[in-house]
Amino acid sequence: MNRYYVDLHIHIGRTWTGKPVKITGAKSLTFTNIIEHARHVKGLQMVGIIDSHSPEVMEEMESLIKSGEVYEHPEGGLVFGDLTIILGSELEIYDEQCNGPIHVLCFMPALKEMKEFSRWLSSYLKNIQLSSQRVYMTGLVLQRRVKEMGGLFIPAHVFTPFKSLYGKGVNRSLTEVFDPNLIDGIELGLSSDTQMADQLEELHHYTFVTNSDAHSLAKIAREYQVAAMEEPSFAELQKALNREDGRAIIANYGLDPLLGKYHKTVCAKCLNLLGSEDQICDFCGSKKVIKGVADRILELKTAESSPSWRPPYIHQVPLEFIPGLGPRLLEKLIDHFGSEMAVLHEVPYEALSQTVPVKIAEMIMKAREGTVNLAAGGGGKYGKISE
Ligand SMILES: [Zn+2]
Ligand SMILES: [Zn+2]
């Protein structure tokens, strides 16, 4: 079995003609730039492009297939050199029953299915060109359609406070919204990790996925997983998520949850840190509280520890969090050592310290060992290294 680095949640900022897809996404986040960057700078072997339903994005894929730069894998996915692209779509479900909005990730085996899926979706949402659109249907209807088409269905960043399954504070169980048998994995989101998520017993049979939810090139692979598969294709990914024939996700790499934007409960107005029970800010008096992921999970807690099959979750500190490591030094590191993945996990201290200032080399090593001090994030503000 081979090992592959996989990040399944990358947005498209603009199409090849410059039209917005993820409006808040970077202009440089085009399909062509993403696949170049994911392969050469980040060192990934499989990426999920989560705005593949957008017609102009599919046109760009088709033109790359025509020119011979990309081809369709017979087992699903598009192949660009040693990178496989999985076609996905992030959608927002919203109806009276589901207490939405809730984000979900849907993946299709090939371009043909994605085209059909996109056509079907277009009558349930306002603008098929755009990312993360609200679809006016229940979770169950969407799940069934995805499954009929041979796709994968994964609830996205399940604990984040505004647009997720558990985060909004109403749903206590995924069975309130979804058919539990039609779920292929659970995406953890930046503010939680395996140990936190496994405090919900109902999640124990699902594979956890850790993805970047990148809205810019730099953020690709800030979370990812290692998949054991025979080859990088859609069919193998499906097996890995369902832990069949020896295929599996064998490690999750993600931010220390303290670095996530919604780890702690804070006042929505002044971001003052609050206790889990606080209804009113003791600093500014505002009654708007943004519940942190850590406190939300405590409310839902039904289990103490992870199931025995659960792979390790390895905390990582992406290079952009290292104080003093600006774009110039980052480029130098990537030029020298090939990819961010190599710098984060493999390059020895001696080599790092010959390339960047000793202070930064030391910080990368401390981050690798998990010994940096972190100040927790909350209310939409990332945590940071407090040195
Ligand atoms: Zn989302
Ligand atoms: Zn997203």
What's the confidence (pLDDT) of residue 36? 94
CA of 67 to the centre of ligand 2 (A): 29
* Predicted local confidence at residue 168, as pLDDT: 77
CA of 30 to the centre of ligand 2 (A): 15
Percentage of the chain exceeding pLDDT 70: 100
Query: For residue range 95-116, what is the model confidence (pLDDT) as tens digits?
Result: 777 777 999 999 999 999 999 9
- What spacing in Å lies between the alpha carbon of 22 and ligand 2's midpoint? 9
Q: What is the chain's mean pLDDT, rounded?
A: 94
Separation of CA 92 and ligand 1 centre (Å): 8
- Distance between Cα 362 and ligand 1 center (Å): 34
Euclidean distance between the first and the last CA atom of the chain, given in angstroms as a whole number? 40
For the chain, helix, strand, coil in percent to 5 are 30, 20, 50
Distance 156 CA to ligand 2 centre (A): 8
Query: 31 falls in which pLDDT band (50, 70, 90)?
Result: very high
Encode pLDDT of 167-181 as tens digits.
877 888 999 999 999
- What mean pLDDT is predicted for residues 143-149? 98
- Which ligand has its closest atom nearest to the C-alpha of 101? 1
Our measurement of the distance from residue 187's CA atom to the centroid of its chain's CA atoms, rounded to an integer in Å, reads 7
Q: Which pLDDT band, with edges at 50, 70 and 90, does 125 fall under? A: very high
Please list all protein residues whose beta carbon sits less than 5 angstroms from ligand 1, which is an ion: 103, 156
d(CA 258, CA 222): 14
Residue 59 has pLDDT above 90, yes or no: yes
Report CA(345)–ligand 2 centroid distance (Å): 26
SS3 at position 334: helix
Q: Is the pLDDT of residue 209 over 80?
A: yes
341 alpha carbon – ligand 1 mean position (Å): 24
Give residue 99's identity as a one-letter amino acid code.
Answer: N
CA of 50 relative to ligand 2 center, distance in Å? 7
Give the count of beta carbons closer than 10 Å to the beta carbon of residue 35.
24
199 pLDDT band (50/70/90 cuts)? very high
pLDDT at 150: 98
Residue 301 backbone class (left: φ over 0; alpha: ψ -120 to 50; beta: rest): beta
Q: 317-350, pLDDT tens digit by residue?
A: 989 899 999 889 999 999 999 888 899 989 999 9
Q: How far is the CA of 257 from the centre of ligand 2 (A)?
A: 18
This prediction has a pTM of 0.94
User: What Å distances lie between residue 214 and 25, 173, 308, 336, CA to CA?
Assistant: 8, 27, 31, 24
Closest of 160, 212, 222 to residue 191, by C-alpha: 160
pLDDT for 97 equals 74
Q: What is the pLDDT of residues 235-277, one digit of tens each?
A: 999 999 999 999 999 999 999 999 999 999 999 999 998 988 8
Residues by chain with Cβ below 5 Å of ion ligand 2 = 90, 213
Contacts of 193 (CB under 8 A, 6+ apart): 252, 254, 256, 257, 313, 315
CA of 227 to the centre of ligand 1 (A): 23
Distance 352 CA to ligand 2 centre (A): 33
